[in-house]
Amino acid sequence: MDIDARTLRTFREVTLTGSFTQAARRLGYSQSSVTAQMRALERQVGEPVFERLPNGVRLTRAGTVLCDYARQILTLVGEMETALRRPAANPPRLTVGIVPALAYGQQLARVTHIGRRLLSGVQLALRVMGTAEVHDAFRAGAIDGALVLTVVDAEDPAVRFADQLHTERSDELTEVRLQEVEFIPVTSVGHRRGNLGRQVVIADPDCPSQRWLPEFLRLRCDSPPEIHELGSMAGVRAATQSGLGCAMLPMALAASHQEAGGLRPLPGVPRMRWNASLVLGRSDTRPALDWQNLTETLRQATALSCAVHPGEPGPASPVDVLGDAAPALDPDPSIAS
């Protein structure tokens, strides 16, 4: 069997995206080129590695076996390429996945600025990906770590993230709790009171911060709300401000300078907190100092996002957080029991 690294990289992208089309877009290939590579791969393997679905593909048994070996091979190829190049021109690279709920502009900027100072000599690459994609990205060797949100009261810190995704109990991942992050339910100032809670805008359906509000409203209202999934917190905020529905926003994003104009707290719905946590692979061979510095980088970045900055309102009251335009939190009969 003679499978080249280029084909294995294409195979890895298809496994990560679940789609030939999306893999082609990420790699800069045509879809027909990706399809041809995967057909050639299946001929070499001797059986299908993907099961074709109406909306994409998923791995077969043979594909799952190949995926594990492809990750190891591509890791070795990457190490070989790095060793053959001059260290000054090719610093070690740390690729970190960040879930959308923590990947808004200010937060990404904080991670980058602090990382430049603490991760000296290391290139930090940030990748925004959905919560459900993180586990697969680890298995494929596409990321070294991930900044995710987990529930605050989980009992076993070693398996909180795996249990949250309803995956197998994974001994390959470990979780480091960094900081509790507060989220506030908001809607637009002009949203009609009778429609409050009927539509919810979310960024990531598998993130606990984004699942919570639809479930809360489903339990408190007569019927489940209509959900609009936008994939980014910037999109969620803009859609909420435009009156599309309500949303659960990080407090720092909702209260950032003048950008909160047009938002008000969602009546009768409490604020909530989740852990910002760093997830790492247990078997990684990188120097311990890299992990310590990465942990400190993300800890400082998330702590800054929770701090009250000069000239910004404090977290004592939702009315204060979102400015004078926000009305008092009188219960809304369509939400409050």
pLDDT tens-place string over residues 41-74: 999 999 999 999 988 899 999 999 999 899 889 8
Looking at the chain, the number of H-run helices and the number of E-run strands are 12, 11
Report the distance separating Cα 209 and Cα 175, nearest Å: 18
**Residues of the chain below pLDDT 50:** 156-159, 166-169, 257-260, 308-337
CA–CA distance, 82 with 74 (Å, rounded to integer): 12
pLDDT of residue 78: 81
pTM of structure: 0.61
Closest Cα partner for 146 from 253, 298, 305, 302? 298
Q: Taking a C-beta distance cutoff of 8 angstroms, is the pair 139, 68 a contact?
A: yes
> Which one-letter amino acid corresponds to residue 248?
M
In this prediction, residue 51 carries a pLDDT of: 93
Q: How many residues does the chain have?
A: 337
Dump pLDDT digits (tens) for 109-128.
Answer: 989 999 988 888 888 999 99
Share of the chain above pLDDT 90, in %: 36
pLDDT in tens, 235-273: 999 898 888 899 999 988 887 544 446 888 888 899 999
Q: How far apart are CA 304 and CA 256, in angstroms?
A: 12
Rg (CA), the chain: 22
DSSP 264-323: EEPTT---EEEEEEEEEETT--S-HHHHHHHHHHHHHHHHHHHSPPTTS--TT-HHHHH-
Amino acid identity at 140:
A
What Cα–Cα distance (Å) separates residue 298 from each residue in 2, 21, 105, 157, 217? 41, 33, 15, 18, 32
pLDDT at 215: 93
pLDDT for 171 equals 56
What pLDDT does 288 receive? Answer: 76
Judge contact between 188 and 242, C-beta under 8 A.
yes
Is there a contact between 49 and 38 (Cβ–Cβ < 8 Å)?
yes
Which pLDDT belongs to residue 268?
Answer: 86
